Each structure stands twice: as C-alpha cells, then as structure tokens.
Amino acid sequence: MICNNLTVNGEGHLCLGGQDTVALAAQYGTPLYLLDEDRIRERCRTYMKAMHEAFGERALPLYAGKAASFKQIYRIMKEEGMGVDVVSSGEICTAVSVGFPMERAYFHSNNKTDADVAYAMEHGIGYFVVDNREELDAIEKEASARGITQKILLRLTPGIDPHTYEAIATGKVDSKFGSAIETGQADEITAYALSLAHIKLSGYHCHIGSQVFDSDTFLRAAAIMLEFANQMREKYGLVIDELDLGGGYGVRYLEEHPEIDIAANIIAVGLAVKAQCMMLQYPMPAVRMEPGRSIVADAGMTLYSVGTVKRIPGYKNYVSVDGGMTDNPRYALYQAPYTVLLANRANDKSERFQCSVVGRCCESGDILQEHVSLPANTARGDLLAVLTTGAYNYSMSSNYNRIPKPPVVMLKDGKSYVAVKRETYEDVCRNDI
Ligand SMILES: *Cc1c(COP(=O)(O)O)cnc(C)c1O
C-alpha cells in the first residue's frame, strides 16, 4: 500500500488507521471523507521536532489551512503548538472561532481587500505576508487608524522552478505572487516597507511550489533568500528576525511516487542555513515552513458507492460513483493522479478491466480518475476508495448540481467521530431567498 496507515483485514476490507472502511461507510453513509487524526498529529510532530533540531527552538511549522480548513483542524493545530497560514477572512474566522492563538497566524493572499485587512487586524493576526505595494498601503492605513504597529513578512520570488530543478532568472519570477529578487522589485518593496511608520518588517517569505520531491529545492531557496537578506542588511541596515520557506513537500499519490524523508530533508536545510548564517555572520532568523499537503493528504481517503458500470465495447468502460468533481475536483482541474481500489474487496485478484471512474454531475469532465484497473465484475453496491484525499478535496469541494457535501469523519485511537456534518438539502438552499 502507498501509505503505512492502510491495511487490509481478514475479510478483505480496506482499513485506514486500523479501522474497517466498510463498517465506516455503513455507519456514516457515502460519499464519505475519512481523516486519520493520529496521522495528522504524527506529521505535525515530525515537522515540529525536525525544525527545532534543524533551526533551533524558535523555529515553527505553520499548517497551510487551505489544504483542509474546518474547526477541528484548527483545534488540533492549536493543541500541537503549530502556527497556521491562512489565506482568507473565512479561514481566519474558522480559526478564531475555536480560539486559535492568532499571534501564530500568518495571512497570505495576493489580493487582500481593505475589509480583509481590517478583519485580520481586528482579530489580532500575527503577521501579514505581504504580496504587493497596494497591500502595504492598506495595512499602513489600517494600522495607523488603530494606532498599532503591524508585523509583516514580504513575499519574494527567488526565481526557482522546482520542476525543472533550475535556478532561473525568468521562470518563477513571472509568478502572480510576490516580488522578484531578480528584477529589483524585492529591493524596492523592502525600502518602501521600511519607510512606513506602522509596519514592522519582520522578515521574508517564499513559496517555491507544490509536490516538491527533490531535496535541494528548499536548500537553494534558503540560500537565495539569505543572500538577499544580507544585501538588504548592507543597504538598509535591516536584520530580519524571521525567514519563512513556504510549503510544498510532496506526498505519494501513486506507488511510483517516491516517499520523502521529511525530517532528514529539514535537517539538511538546517545545516545549510546555519552554515550560511555563520559565513555571512548573519544572526540566525526564526525559520518557518508552511506544510499543507504533507500534513493531511495521506491521512485522508474518500469512500463512494458504485452506482453503475457502463461498457462501450471497443471503446471504454465507466464506473459511476455517488460523488465526483463536487467533492474532488482535482482530476477535472489538472489531472491529479490518485490510487483507486474497491474497499470491500481490496485483495480481489479476479480478472480486471480498465475504466474511468466518474462522478454523478451533469458534466462530461466530471472524472475522478482515468485508466483505473478494477475487478471486471465491479458492480452496483461495491465500495470504492480514492486514497490520499486529505488535502485539497474537502477544501475545494462545491455544491455544483446542488449536491450536498459529504461529511468529514475523523479517526482517532480506534474510534471515529464527525468533524464536519454531512450537508442536507436544506443546507444547500440555506441562503436562497
Ligand atoms: C499552498 C501553499 C502552501 C502549502 O503547500 P503544500 O503543497 O500544501 O504544502 C504553503 N504556503 C503557501 C504560500 C501556499 O500557497
């Protein structure tokens, strides 16, 4: 199996965190999101421990809430001592509602409205991760009106494309996010931030990309960021207190994806950062990382009931399930790969067929996965599992076709509980006048 929290029991049923998915589907219905809380906490601890070891006690992992945002997740992050990265007032509201300590919250987004800026300050946001000059103006205005000094990080683009493995002068410099070091804009925005009376520039942020597997991406990003920080010290006397290296460690969706040793990777980044700080005689900043996917993805799984099997001889086969792009739009959006199997007969070695697993929406693009191998006798009533759906599934779900969203059921210590209720038809038309 692609992850060690997956097993098959004596009845041939797929288990997540040791719990029988067939029994869970019977108890909670389908479609159903499962999330293994024990796994999520284990991942938080891996980051926390490795970052402290690598960068010292001031280091802090920030959970990137956009991967999966609901109240219980923020309770868990609070208990684990994590920080969070939030990207909207809605995420701030969710975190605030469970008493998350907002001084450990970092507010991202390339376009924060004036209302967002005011909302975040009203709730005592720790940091704005500032994307652009308009945002600096908005923060200065709001902070000045409130008579406070607001801490910020500046988001920079160090010009690394994680998927070509090249440090390039153009490439990611043309990102919609942040200010490029290469073009001089990072320097300009630093000078501007330093000129504003109600803003404290605490440090720099970068986020290279997602599904990063190669170990030197973070090393190179850190090196470029520190080199730039050192230039800014020479030019403006600025010494940064924080360096945020963003998120992006990859997870295994398929057997052929590698498994990364996140702790070992972070330790390696730590050694390099320490060495460079020593060389530049730069005080070691408090390092932040922002893992989203690698905290929650493989804690998750989605269960569906098979409804119909359609064979078009000489063409293709379809297996339709009771969910689809409304609960997981990622294949439809960008052909995200997933491992798919029958949960009620996970060891079935009978003859197989190739099929497309599709959803129930009135939309040909409503595909969960293509080229899936399932038992040829797959039929209505079988339970189908899509693995590794803990990240960017619930958080990207919609009510297209007025389909209610599935519940999120969490697994902990051999027990299960509802963290997000299944939507009802009343919920779906709740705001209609
Ligand atoms: C999406 C994002 C993350 C999290 O990325 P993962 O690939 O889920 O780890 C972290 N920081 C920023 C700024 C992001 O946009």
Q: What is the CATH number for 194?
A: 3.20.20.10
Residue 32 lies in a domain: yes
* 160 — pLDDT class (breaks 50, 70, 90): confident
The whole-number pLDDT of residue 61 equals 98
Decide: 288 in ligand 1 pocket, CB within 6 A.
no
Residue 97 lies in a domain: no
Count: domains in the chain: 2
Residue 401 lies in a domain: yes
What DSSP letter does each residue of 34-88 carry, written as one string? EEEHHHHHHHHHHHHHHHHHHH-TT-EEEEEGGGS-SHHHHHHHHHTT-EEEE-S
The whole-number pLDDT of residue 210 equals 87
Residue 378 lies in a domain: yes
Residue 283 lies in a domain: yes
Residues 255 and 340 in one domain: no
* 164 — pLDDT class (breaks 50, 70, 90): low
The whole-number pLDDT of residue 170 equals 40
Residues 285 and 306 in one domain: no
Residue 101 buriedness (CB in 10 A; 0-12 / 13-18 / 19+): middle
Residues 312 and 355 in one domain: yes
Residue 349 Cα to ligand 1 middle (Å): 39
Please count the other Cβ atoms lying within 10 Å of the Cβ belonging to residue 75.
Answer: 15
The whole-number pLDDT of residue 172 equals 72
Decide: 330 in ligand 1 pocket, CB within 6 A.
no
Whether the Cβ atoms of residue 181 and residue 159 lie closer than 8 Å to each other: yes
Residue 225 lies in a domain: yes
Residues 276 and 306 in one domain: no
The whole-number pLDDT of residue 29 equals 98
Prediction pTM value: 0.96
Residue 148 lies in a domain: yes
- Chain centroid, CA 187 distance in Å: 29
Residues 272 and 385 in one domain: no
Checking if the pLDDT of 165 tops 70, the result is no
Residues 164 and 232 in one domain: yes
What Å distances lie between residue 218 and 55, 67, 187, 207, 215, CA to CA?
14, 20, 21, 9, 7
Q: Nearest C-alpha to atom 7 of ligand 1 is from which residue?
A: 248
> Which is the closest atom of ligand 1 to the Cα of 250?
7
Q: Show the domain range for 175.
A: 108-291
Mean pLDDT of 113-135: 98
The whole-number pLDDT of residue 173 equals 77
Among 77-86, 191-200, 205-214, 305-314, the least confident range: 205-214
* 250 — pLDDT class (breaks 50, 70, 90): very high
Mean pLDDT of 230-241: 98
What pLDDT digit, counting tens, does each position of 316-350 carry?
999 999 999 999 999 999 999 999 999 999 999 99
- 291, 314, 341 — which closes off a domain? 291
Decide: 64 in ligand 1 pocket, CB within 6 A.
yes
Checking if the pLDDT of 167 tops 60, the result is no
Lookup: tokens for 209: 């990309």
Mean pLDDT of 214-231: 93
CA dist 174 and 167 (Å) reads: 13
The CATH number for 356's domain is 2.40.37.10
In sequence order, the β-bridge partners of residue 242 are 203, 286
- 248, 263, 291 — which closes off a domain? 291
Residues 341 and 220 in one domain: no
Residue 209 Cα to ligand 1 middle (Å): 7
- 291, 306, 334 — which closes off a domain? 291
Lookup: tokens for 65: 């809430």
What pLDDT digit, counting tens, does each position of 283-297 carry?
999 999 999 999 999
Question: Is 362 designated active site?
Answer: yes
* 163 — pLDDT class (breaks 50, 70, 90): low
Residue 29 Cα to ligand 1 middle (Å): 31
Mean pLDDT of 353-372: 97
Give 195's contacts (C-beta < 8 A, 6+ positions apart).
none
Residues 306 and 278 in one domain: no
Checking if the pLDDT of 168 tops 70, the result is no
What pLDDT digit, counting tens, does each position of 70-114 carry?
999 999 999 999 999 999 999 999 999 999 999 999 999 999 999
Residue 88 lies in a domain: no
